[in-house]
Amino acid sequence: MHDISHWQHHHDFRLDQHSAERRTRWVIALTAVTMLVEVAAGTLTGSMALLADGWHMATHVGALGIAAFAYHMAHRHAADPRFTFGTGKVAILGGYTSAVALALVALLMAAESLSRLFEPVNVHFSEAMVVAWIGLAVNLASVWLLDDHDHDHDHQHSDHEHHQDHNLRAAYLHVVADALTSVLAILALWTGSAFGWIWMDPLMGIVGALVIARWAMGLLRDTGRILLDAEDHDDLEGQIRALVEADPDTRIADLHLWRVGPESRACILSLVTHSQKHLPYYKDQLAQVPNLDHLTIEVNLCLPGQCPATRNPQRVSVASQHETPPP
């Protein structure tokens, strides 16, 4: 008979990603054009460093496409009830997938560079140098397009967690890796031209592969933990426990905390007390906890003469949104 909309809430825990999606599409276009030029030039000049840079950019076009697709899917299905906690993790899944692509790029670069190290080929240094500088300019422009968005939320919290868009972070790492390989290609081409160090060309490919592999593993670790709900929440859990158990008659029997979006968490608390208080009391206790957007509280009554001897004490479950609805 009554309107319960005040007690209902959305499950859209995404960041505002419109600007990030638009800039990612710009970077895709820039990277695709430069990739075609570098692969063609590397093939004609025989430069492994230039070919590695071009192939690297080719895979990044695909990886950046994954990032753009993840934004599209997250937006399209934001209100889809099949996603229990919304689509906040779609961008994280996109970041994980891109990290896999980044690791494969590093593996291919290392394999081809090792082959060229033992079987050198002739390189047309002057022609390759021109294209490498063009590639670096495009890469730096792409880094500029994505940089401020990647670091807006980075290192702002003391709990050692990166509250950021991992999908955008993956795109950012891809273009930074492109810039690195361009720099290494220029260095290899210059030393080869000036000193005849042909071996520097494949060596720089190996160095770039190792650095990119390290970035990929770090991104895989961070996104994988979020997807598996295996993040380190010790500091935040300690804050929740201290706030709730400030009441000497209340103890936390069970606590589950997990991320449902780049900056949003869900929490399930199981409390034990002799006297259940009104729901607003428990919500007010946790009002100062940041980014706790989906809260469920279970209250177990420990009645005199029944607890702890009684195996299953009387239980009352209450669920609440973090925000207090209007009266």
Task: Output the domain CATH number for residue 54.
Answer: 1.20.1510.10
The mean pLDDT of 164-168, rounded to a whole number, is 67
CA 90-93-99 angle, to 5 degrees, is: 145
First to last CA, the chain: 17
Residue 299 has pLDDT above 60, yes or no: yes
For the ranges 66-80, 123-137, 252-266, the maximum mean pLDDT occurs at 252-266
Cis upstream peptide for 308 (omega within 30°): yes
Residue 96 has pLDDT above 60, yes or no: yes
227's enclosing H/E stretch is helix 200-227
HSE-CB of 96 using CA atoms within 13 angstroms: 13
116 within some domain: yes
pLDDT tens profile 254-274? 999 888 777 788 888 999 998
Q: Are residues 294 and 160 in the same domain?
A: no
pLDDT band at 305 (very low <50, low <70, confident <90, very high): low
pLDDT band at 130 (very low <50, low <70, confident <90, very high): confident
pLDDT of residue 242: 92
pLDDT of residue 18: 61
pLDDT tens profile 43-70? 777 766 667 667 767 767 777 787 777 7
pLDDT band at 149 (very low <50, low <70, confident <90, very high): very low
Q: Are residues 193 and 158 in the same domain?
A: yes
- CB proximity list for 267: less than 8 A, separation 6 or greater: 240, 255, 256, 257, 286, 292, 294, 295, 296
Q: Are residues 35 and 164 in the same domain?
A: yes
- Dihedral, CA atoms, 127, 58, 105, 121, nearest 10 degrees? -30
| pTM of the full structure | 0.65
22's enclosing H/E stretch is helix 18-45
pLDDT band at 314 (very low <50, low <70, confident <90, very high): low
239 within some domain: yes
SS3 250: strand
CA-nearest of 156, 138, 11 to 81 is 11
Domain end (from 195, 227, 259): 227
Structural domain span for residue 190: 5-227
- CA-CA distance, 170 to 215, in Å (whole number)? 9
SS3 14: coil
For 248, the token pair is 């000497």
% of residues, the chain, pLDDT over 90: 4
pLDDT of residue 240: 92
326 within some domain: no
Domain end (from 192, 211, 227): 227
- CB proximity list for 173: less than 8 A, separation 6 or greater: 98, 99, 102, 215, 216, 219
The count of domains in the chain is 2
> Which has the minimum average pLDDT: 102-111, 166-175, 239-248, 313-322?
313-322
